[in-house]
Amino acid sequence: MTWIDDDAFGPQHPFGPQTLAYGLVDEGLAVRVGNQALPLAELNLGERLEPLVKAENLNPLLAAGRIAWSELRARLTEIVTASGAPAGARLVSLSTAKLPFAVGDYVDYYSSRNHAENVGRMFRPDAAPLLPNWTHLPVGYHGRSGTVVGSGTPVVRPKGQRKAPDAAEPSYGPSTRLDIEAEIGFVCGGPVTSEVRTRNAAEHIFGVAVVNDWSARDIQAWEYVPLGPYLGKSFATSIGKWITPLDAFSAARVPVPEQPNTLLDYLVSEEPSGLDIRLEVQWNGTIVARPPFAEMNWSFDQQLAHMTVNGATVRPGDLFASGTVSGKNKEERGSFLELSWGGKEPIELADGSTRTFLEDGDTIVITGWAPGPDGSVVGLSEVTGTIRPAA
């Protein structure tokens, strides 16, 4: 028994001692223990770590780099598994948690072959579903960090310009094809640098979170040629409020499915860097998809190497997302565009209603977990969002 006298805190709980996700509550930076939070500011962590955890957000810790991250995780493991309560330890509510870091640059990838092919078939029905570059590089674009929001933030239906295929002219108004993208996000840290090698990528990845990259398909379909996604994506991106450290995924590493062609040297992973994370998407309480992250075709180390290979830097607080996670089977697709096949195949919810795209008042919850050491489960913090009518 540890001093944390709570049935919800043990290896069988997704936020047991094997996870130790970081967040920010009213009492300051904290680590999640079961269904409560342990604030860090009053703990005896030593001179090097204490200033980092007394900061107003995670960014100084992100900047401190992997040696500090490992030291803090080891110390917190001792603290949460001690039999007596260590000095300064008290448990507080999770309810005041907020987005725990200032988001720097945001990049969105497109790393599921299943998703890319599905979208290709719908958006470009007369061409090959996969464009020729896709198997040679992780396709991505720079997104908008200012609208990355914490889980629970309502999402206002975006307005914009769209044109139906049979319409003569574009029109302006609220999106009628509002969608989700179930993704995994990577929170960056360590020294500012460029040309990160795949073997050094983990030095710059602090942690992992579930992301919902809300997408207005009608706006996107009209605007995206030739420069890619723009206003159909930039209105909101939601992220889980507790960041699970990359170190917690040691038992979840899997090889990434091989590309059909030889990769350029800078994209070759030396170790398995896929992550066996299982996602679950709930639409108004009905589970509509279980996307498997292990099937993603590009991994975080390849994505970070690619992002910085031209001399661009990675900085503490930068965030990149994997791209929509879609498996081979229909019930594994991580967007409603794919689940409803462009709106042609409605999805039935538990209350008997049907949906193709999001309606005002709808609530989406995306959860995630991965296998942990010794049969335990490593949790990712859920991402929720409810759609508000267009302003």
Residue with the closest Cβ to Ca ion? Answer: 213
Least distance between Ca ion and beta carbon 142 (Å) = 12
Question: Binder to Ca ion among 181, 218, 223, 332 (CB under 5 A)?
Answer: 181
Number of residues that bind Ca ion (CB under 5 A): 3
Q: Which listed range, 27-35, 68-76, 100-108, 121-129, lies at the site for Ca ion (CB under 5 A)?
A: 100-108
Q: Give whichever of 33 and 337 is closer to Ca ion, judged by the CB atom.
A: 337
Between 23 and 368, name the residue whose CB sits nearer to Ca ion.
Answer: 368
Closest distance of CB 237 from Ca ion, Å = 8
Q: How far apart are CA 293 and CA 12, in angstroms?
A: 22
C-alpha angle 350/356/362, rounded to 5°? Answer: 60
- Rounded to a whole number of angstroms, the minimum distance from the CB of residue 343 to Ca ion is 19
Q: Which two three-digit tokens encode residue 62?
A: 């992100």
Q: Smaller CB distance to Ca ion: residue 69 or 222?
A: 222
Tokens read off for 36: 């409560």
Binding to Ca ion (CB under 5 A): which residues in 197-236?
213
Interface region with Ca ion, contact rule CB under 5 A, candidates 111-119, 181-189, 279-287, 343-351:
181-189
Shortest distance, position 324 Cβ to Ca ion, whole Å: 6
- Map residues 338-367 to x or -, x wherever contact with Ca ion holds by CB under 5 A: ------------------------------
Residue 24 beta carbon to Ca ion: minimum distance, rounded to whole angstroms: 25
**Quick one: which segment of 104-112, 123-131, 333-341, 375-383 binds Ca ion (CB under 5 A)?**
104-112
The DSSP bridge partners found for residue 319 are 106, 187
Q: Which is nearer to Ca ion, 146 or 352 (CB)?
A: 146
Decide whether 18 or 326 has the Cβ nearer to Ca ion: 326
The Cα-based distances of 304 to 99, 125, 194, 310, 315 in angstroms read 22, 31, 9, 11, 11
SS (H, E, C) 291-354: CEHHHCCCCHHHHHHHHHCCCCEECCCCEEECCCCCCCCHHHCCCHHHHCCCCCCCEECCCCCE
Could you give the count of Cα atoms lying within 13 Å of 69 in the half-sphere of its Cβ? 29
Binding mask 2-21 for Ca ion (x = CB under 5 A): --------------------
Kindly state the smallest distance separating residue 323's Cβ from Ca ion, in Å: 5
Q: Which stretch binds Ca ion (CB under 5 A): 38-46, 177-185, 202-210, 262-270?
A: 177-185
The residue from 115, 142, 204, 306 that is catalytic is 115
Active site residue 115: yes
Helices (H), the chain: 50-53, 59-64, 66-81, 113-123, 217-223, 300-308, 336-339
Residue number, 97 or 321, with CB nearest to Ca ion = 321
Q: Are strands 182-188 and 22-25 parallel, antiparallel or unpaired?
A: unpaired
Minimum gap (Å) between residue 115 Cβ and Ca ion: 9
Please name the residue that has the structure tokens 């769209």: 162
Pairing verdict, β 148-150 and 237-239 = parallel
Residue 382 near Ca ion by CB under 5 A: no
Supply the minimum distance, in Å, between the C-beta of residue 181 and Ca ion: 4
Among all chains, which residue has been given the structure tokens 């094997």? 18
Q: How many CB atoms lie within 10 A of CB 89?
A: 19
Which one of 105, 108, 223, 318 is in contact with Ca ion (CB under 5 A)?
Answer: 108
Cβ proximity to Ca ion: between 181 and 318 the closer is 181
CB neighbours of 61 closer than 8 A, spacing ≥ 6?
22, 29, 52, 53, 55, 68, 69, 72, 189, 206
Compare residues 48 and 124 and give the one whose CB is closer to Ca ion: 124
3-state DSSP call for residue 86? coil
Q: Tell me the two tokens of residue 125.
A: 């029905």
Angstrom distances, CA of residue 334 to CA of 41, 53, 203, 353: 38, 35, 29, 20
| 232: three-class secondary structure by DSSP | coil
Catalytic residues: 115
- Interface contacts to Ca ion, rule CB under 5 A: 108, 181, 213
